[in-house]
């Protein structure tokens, strides 16, 4: 059984994230979506809301499950027999950050690996922070997120 985890804040999940989940689900036997429960900044959505929206967004993928964790990602992976972290890359800026993260994890836990999937160009400018900005100013983010997420965000304004 090859397991992978896609970690992130997902505040909220965007179409760019969902594309990465779908592709990871086609490569691994089981994919965990790991929601960080320790964002320093005040999030737009509570962790339970983020998890509900994620679960709705991946309900068509039978081998994907949504979890949250508080501690270190590597500890969660070792406890749950997950060997690979899957991260989406949009740009060189993403790469520079991710390279450091991947190398730290590799140095500490040689048995764990990080795999990068290049984001689709049409989603490359999408980010949770752009969605939050649009929502704060009452704009229309319907092209950046799935229908269920869009409806939920509108109901919160």
Assess whether 155 carries a catalytic annotation: no
Shortest approach of ligand ADP to residue 107 CB, angstroms?
20
Assess whether 80 carries a catalytic annotation: no
HEC-encoded secondary structure of 32-45: EEEEECCCCCCCCC
**What is the spatial distance between Cα 153 and Cα 157, in angstroms, rounded to a whole number?**
7
Which are the contacts of 126, defined by CB distance < 8 A and separation ≥ 6? 14, 15, 16, 144
**Residues near ligand ADP, by CB under 6 A:** 8-10, 14, 16-17, 20, 36, 87-88, 90, 94, 119, 123-124, 126-128
DSSP 150: H
**Which of the following is catalytic: 23, 50, 57, 128?**
128
Assess whether 90 carries a catalytic annotation: yes
Assess whether 128 carries a catalytic annotation: yes
Cβ distance to ligand ADP smaller for residue 1 or 114: 114
């Amino acid at each position: 059984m090859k397991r992978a985890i896609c970690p992130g804040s997902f505040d909220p999940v965007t179409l760019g994230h969902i594309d990465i989940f779908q592709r990871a689900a086609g490569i691994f036997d089981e994919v965990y979506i790991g929601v960080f429960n320790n964002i320093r900044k005040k999030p737009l959505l509570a962790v339970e809301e983020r998890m509900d929206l994620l679960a709705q967004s991946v309900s068509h993928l039978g081998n994907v499950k949504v979890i949250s964790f508080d501690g270190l990602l590597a500890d969660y992976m070792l406890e749950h027999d997950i060997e690979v972290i899957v991260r989406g890359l949009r740009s060189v800026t993403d790469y520079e950050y991710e390279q450091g993260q991947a190398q730290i994890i590799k140095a500490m836990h040689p048995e764990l690996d990080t795999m990068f999937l290049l984001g689709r160009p049409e989603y490359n400018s999408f980010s949770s922070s752009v969605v939050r900005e649009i929502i704060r100013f009452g704009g229309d983010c319907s092209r950046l997120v799935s229908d269920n997420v869009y409806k939920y965000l509108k109901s919160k304004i």
